[in-house]
């Protein structure tokens, strides 16, 4: 690991060039998340205009998108590890931007579903390209901070995208909103074509033999790495409590605190967005400091290992707080602590993976988070709430959400296990 870092410092891009590329990657992910959030803001008018059911809207807005985004993303990640990353990202942005614009022309379930599938496929390029490029642009001590800055674009995209979607849809209608937001993505395509440089790949010659073979062989190699599975599961469990908020927090605030539907977004946005942005950046900077001080990137895991379990009591306060102000303040602190997982965990994952498996390694971690956090966690809460409804009525959701309270503790234990296994491997 030291030889890679030394070589990066010696032959890598200038700090200004690396910073500019990071800015472009930040903008790509900002656009990625903002475009992804558009349909959720205009579900009701789209449903009414196209004559769709709630089930059909759930399929096109959730199932179809997530399925293709995560599963196709694995194959795209393998392509990223061997292809020209600049071209792959530009192609991805053009695809999801064009599909976003075409969403405004949808006439029914199948045309709307097709556009969402294409958006999911295009957006699957952003994360693996960014992680692969960052690993070559920044030496190991700077990676947690750089990845965290990149990941902060997720929260910025959610907040800004939701606001823009509401304003544009109210002023011009949902069809024009999709057209405007989709076509604006081609400005970033033009900027990247004119000014973005494909970074040189930096890898150890000793890794060359491990980097050959097909996708299944690459996945098999990664899951056998000491600590990789525990690290992936730790990041996934850390995301469970956060993942249930977009699905169930509006209904919880409405049922348990009497918040009007029109005010739910204004309450959740700052708590999730500001807490997530500040927590992501702060954890990345602290993890980078620990890596520089202790000399190995695995020590960056100390940040999420300590911070994430501390989120458990704040999650319980959010659920059982008697006042709305205390509930939302606790939600902000909880999001601050839980957002510490991504930057340090991804930085360590790409550090232990062979250099031409970095995109696949980061995408496998994203897949685990998507399945466990994005799909399983909201389903558990919904099932428990339905089961408790006959006895607890409107309070059933409150106690269903409480099932997520232990997940930060499990995440902390898994990250500790990963740290021990990776450190033992490094010593041996």
The H-assigned helical ranges of 258-323 are 261-294, 302-320
- The closest of 206, 226, 209 to 217, measured between CA atoms, is 209
- Res 230: pLDDT: 94
pLDDT in tens, 190-249: 999 999 988 887 655 444 444 445 677 888 888 888 999 999 999 999 988 887 876 677
Residue (of 33, 279, 268, 302) closest to 149 by Cα position? 279
pLDDT digits (tens, 9 = 90+) for 331-385: 889 989 998 888 888 888 888 888 778 778 878 888 888 778 767 787 788 778 8
Residue 210 vs residues 149, 214, 215, 365: alpha-carbon distances, Å: 30, 11, 12, 19
Q: Of the ranges 44-48, 80-84, 108-112, which one carries the lowest mean pLDDT score?
A: 44-48
The CB-based long-range contact list for 115-121 (8 Å cut-off, 24+ gap) reads 116/39, 116/60, 116/61, 116/64, 116/65, 117/64, 117/65, 117/68, 119/35, 119/36, 119/65, 120/64, 120/65, 120/66, 120/67, 120/68, 120/69, 120/72, 121/68, 121/69, 121/72, 121/76, 121/95, 121/96
What is the model's pLDDT at position 287?
87
**Residues 197/17, Cβ–Cβ less than 8 Å:** yes
d(CA 362, CA 365): 5
Q: Average per-residue pLDDT in the chain?
A: 82
- Domains of the chain, with CATH numbers? 11-200 (1.20.1250.20), 209-428 (1.20.1250.20)
User: Is residue 427's pLDDT more than 60?
Assistant: no
Residue 306 binned pLDDT confidence (cut-offs 50, 70, 90): very high
Q: pLDDT grade, residue 3 (50/70/90)? A: very low
Using pLDDT thresholds of 50, 70 and 90, give the confidence band for residue 264: low
117 close to 64: Cβ distance less than 8 angstroms: yes
Percent of the chain with pLDDT over 70: 86
Say what angle helices 126-137 and 143-172 make with each other, to 10 degrees. 150
Query: Residue holding tokens 């009701």?
Result: 44
User: Where do the DSSP E strands lie in 7-70?
Assistant: none
């Amino acid at each position: 690991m030291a030889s890679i870092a030394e070589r990066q410092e010696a032959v890598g891009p200038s700090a200004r060039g690396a910073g500019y590329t990071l800015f472009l990657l930040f903008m790509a992910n900002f656009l990625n998340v903002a475009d992804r959030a558009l349909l959720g803001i205009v579900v009701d008018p789209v449903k009414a205009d196209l004559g769709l059911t709630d089930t059909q809207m759930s399929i096109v807005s959730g199932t179809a998108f997530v399925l293709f985004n995560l599963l196709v993303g694995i194959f795209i990640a393998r392509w990223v590890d061997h292809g020209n990353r600049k071209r792959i990202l530009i192609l991805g942005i053009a695809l999801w931007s064009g599909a976003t614009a075409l969403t405004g022309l949808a006439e029914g379930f199948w045309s709307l579903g097709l556009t969402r599938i294409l958006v999911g496929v295009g957006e699957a390029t952003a994360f693996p390209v960014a992680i692969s490029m960052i690993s070559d642009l920044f030496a190991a001590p700077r990676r947690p901070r750089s990845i965290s800055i990149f990941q902060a674009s997720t929260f910025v995209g959610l907040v800004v995208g939701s606001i823009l979607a509401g304003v544009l849809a109210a002023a011009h209608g949902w069809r024009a909103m999709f057209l405007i937001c989709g076509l604006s993505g081609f400005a970033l395509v033009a900027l990247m074509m004119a000014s973005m440089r494909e970074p040189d790949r930096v890898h150890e010659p000793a890794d060359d033999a491990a980097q050959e073979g097909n996708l299944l062989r690459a996945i098999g190699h990664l899951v056998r790495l000491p600590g990789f599975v525990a690290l992936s599961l730790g990041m996934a469990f850390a995301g469970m409590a956060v993942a249930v908020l977009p699905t169930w927090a509006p209904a919880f605030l409405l049922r348990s605190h009497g918040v009007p539907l029109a005010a739910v977004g204004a309450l959740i946005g700052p708590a999730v967005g500001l807490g997530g942005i500040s927590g992501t950046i702060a954890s990345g900077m602290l993890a980078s400091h620990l890596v520089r001080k202790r000399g190995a990137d695995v020590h960056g895991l100390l940040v999420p290992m300590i911070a994430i379990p501390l989120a458990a009591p704040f999650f319980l306060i959010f659920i059982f707080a008697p006042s709305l102000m205390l509930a939302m303040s606790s939600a902000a602190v909880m999001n601050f602590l839980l957002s510490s997982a991504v930057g340090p965990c991804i930085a360590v994952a790409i550090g232990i993976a062979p250099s031409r498996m970095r995109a696949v390694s980061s995408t496998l971690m994203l897949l685990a988070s998507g399945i466990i956090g994005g799909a399983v966690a909201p389903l558990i809460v919904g099932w428990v709430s339905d089961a408790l409804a006959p006895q607890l009525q409107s309070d059933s959701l409150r106690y269903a959400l409480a099932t997520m309270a232990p997940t930060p503790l499990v995440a902390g234990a898994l990250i500790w296990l990963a740290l021990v296994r990776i450190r033992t491997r490094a010593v041996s």
